[in-house]
Amino acid sequence: MKEFFSKLLTGMSIGIVVSLIPNALLGEILKLLIPHFPALQHIFDITVFVMSLLPVMIGVMVGMSFKLTSIQTASVGIAAMVGGGSVQKTAEGLFALSGIGIVINTGITAALTVLFVQFIGDRLKAYSILLMPTCSILIPGMIGYSILPFVKTSTGIIGVAVENVTTLQPVIMCIIISVIFCLIILSPISTVGVATVISLSGIGSGAANLGIVAAGVGLAIASYKANSLGTALAHVLGSPKIQMRNFFMKPKIAFPMLITAVFLGALAGLLNIQGTPYSAGFGLSGLVGPLNYMTFAEGGWTVKNISIMVGTFFVLPVLLNLGLIYIFSRKLKMIKAEDYKLHFD
């Protein structure tokens, strides 16, 4: 079970990052340029479209992690799309892409399909290419589709729990929200989904964003020695979810990031760092968090606001994580670089 879970999370992590990185790198930049260069709208639309393919990418990457055959891997991909919920049927009878779907349900569907195709094995022989994709849709795919509303509701429950936190004293509220989102970004649960369910805005959104920044920057620093520079940067430019497998295997690797989230969350309350339900789930990805802070900051792009933005989103996350990673690795001997190794071969 441990090996199965490990391979599942590895595949999910790769699928998530590959699908989200194009929009993360280009999205906010393109939004600034489109008013002056309208032709760039097509590129922006394509990056959004690619994000909606996340369930397929997760399914394919999970299939590859389990070293399935080409037909089996493709079958996991289409079944994951069925259970992912990123395709919605409109009132006019048309099919439309709707966000990235429910990531955790995509993972459940992919896991069920892997078990299904492994159980079938080579029993279908020459009929595999005919029956395997169809059976994968009819059995594990439809199971995933059937439980989708219940899994979606569970995300809503988490959102309600976070919403209750927003009634607390501002600084305490921001600390708790920052830590919660630091944890959620390392799980299969969508941070954007939780934030939008409760319309998390204002300093609550800013705190959530800084919690994700704490995770992304910290994991990038901690994983640098064990991985390539590009892979390390993917934690910040893409998503910290790339470390899902390692986090679930060894939760202690997130201790430095969680403590950093406490400090950054407090600053969100003290410095009135704000955001929107959309920006709450992105961190530094696409510079969504910093740019939204500057949008809502009183006075706009003043020297003071720019200093606060640079300090809270860039300087402090690096310094706090560096110090805490040093303490937990060198002094307490609780973590080591190999704990953050990502296996993408």
pTM score, two decimals? 0.85
Q: Tell me, what DSSP letter sits at residue 275?
A: B
Q: Please report which confidence band the pLDDT of residue 125 belongs to, taking 50, 70 and 90 as the band edges.
A: confident
As given in the structure block, the two tokens for residue 152 are 């979606």
pLDDT higher than 70, residue 345: no
Residue 180: its pLDDT value, please?
A: 94
Count up the domains in the chain and report the number: 2
Whether residue 232 is found in the same domain as residue 140: no
pLDDT higher than 70, residue 285: yes
Whether residue 112 is found in the same domain as residue 22: yes
Q: List CB contacts of 133: < 8 A, sequence separation 6 or more.
A: 71, 74, 75, 78
How far is 145 from 138, CA to CA, in rounded Å? 10
Most confident range, picked from 153-162, 213-222, 227-236, 272-281 = 213-222
Out of 49-63, 221-235, 280-294, 318-332, least confident range: 280-294
Residue 67: its pLDDT value, please?
A: 94
Residue 160: inside a domain, yes or no? Answer: no
Q: Please report which confidence band the pLDDT of residue 336 belongs to, taking 50, 70 and 90 as the band edges.
A: very high
Whether residue 205 is found in the same domain as residue 99: no
Whether residue 185 is found in the same domain as residue 106: no
Q: Please report which confidence band the pLDDT of residue 157 belongs to, taking 50, 70 and 90 as the band edges.
A: confident
Q: Among residues 166, 159, 161, 167, which one has the least CA distance to residue 198? A: 159
Whether residue 245 is found in the same domain as residue 287: yes
pLDDT digits (tens, 9 = 90+) for 65-89: 999 999 999 999 999 999 998 888 8
Q: Among residues 17, 14, 51, which one has the least CA distance to residue 237? A: 17
Containing structural domain, residue 329: 166-345
Whether residue 203 is found in the same domain as residue 59: no
What's the chain's Rg over C-alpha atoms?
21
Whether residue 86 is found in the same domain as residue 39: yes
Whether residue 270 is found in the same domain as residue 127: no
Q: Tell me, what DSSP letter sits at residue 16?
A: H
Helix (H) or strand (E) holding 198: none
Residue 324: inside a domain, yes or no? Answer: yes
Whether residue 176 is found in the same domain as residue 290: yes
Helix (H) or strand (E) holding 87: strand 87-89
As given in the structure block, the two tokens for residue 43 are 């590129």
Which of 155, 176, 210 terminates a domain? The answer is: 155
Q: Average the pLDDT over 93-106 and give the result.
A: 84
Helix (H) or strand (E) holding 152: helix 142-165
Out of 110-124, 167-181, 244-258, 274-288, least confident range: 274-288
How far is 46 from 141, CA to CA, in rounded Å? 26
Residue 161: inside a domain, yes or no? Answer: no
Residue 246: inside a domain, yes or no? Answer: yes
Residues paired with residue 87 on neighbouring β-strands, in sequence order: 97
pLDDT digits (tens, 9 = 90+) for 218-270: 999 999 999 988 889 989 988 899 999 999 999 999 999 999 999 999 999 99
Q: Output the CA torsion 318→343→109→219 (10° steps).
A: -10
